[in-house]
Amino acid sequence: MTKYSSWIHYFRHNNWSTVQFEFRNVPTLSSEERDLLSASLQQFQLGEGSDGLGLLRRCRRFSGQNAHPDLPEAMLLFIREEQRHSAVLGHFLDQECIPRLRQHWVDQLFRKIRNLAGFELMLTVLVTAELIAIPYYTAIHNATSSIPLKLIAQRILRDEEQHLEFQALNLAHCAQQRSDFARFLTILAQLGALTCAAALVYSMHSSLFRKAALSPLRFWALAYDAHRPILHALTAARPSSNPAVEAYLR
Residues that bind Fe ion (CB under 5 A): 48, 82, 85, 130, 160, 163
Report the nearest approach of Fe ion to the CB of residue 127 (Å): 9
User: What residues have CB less than 8 Å from 23, skipping those under 6 apart?
Assistant: 91, 92, 94, 95, 148
Which is nearer to Fe ion, 172 or 226 (by Cβ)?
A: 226
Which is nearer to Fe ion, 160 or 180 (by Cβ)?
A: 160
User: What residues have CB less than 8 Å from 158, skipping those under 6 apart?
Assistant: none
Which is nearer to Fe ion, 163 or 183 (by Cβ)?
A: 163
Q: Which helix (H) or strand (E) holds 192?
A: helix 180-204
Amino acid identity of residue 226, one-letter, is: A
Task: Read off the DSSP letter of residue 247.
Answer: H
Which is nearer to Fe ion, 166 or 209 (by Cβ)?
A: 166
Which is nearer to Fe ion, 126 or 183 (by Cβ)?
A: 126
Report the nearest approach of Fe ion to the CB of residue 109 (Å): 18
Which residue's beta carbon is nearest to the bound Fe ion?
163
Q: Give CA torsion, residues 83, 113, 128, 236, to 10 deg.
A: 110
Q: Give the burial class of 216: count Cβ atoms within 10 A of its Cβ; 0-12 exposed, 13-18 middle, 19 or more buried.
A: middle
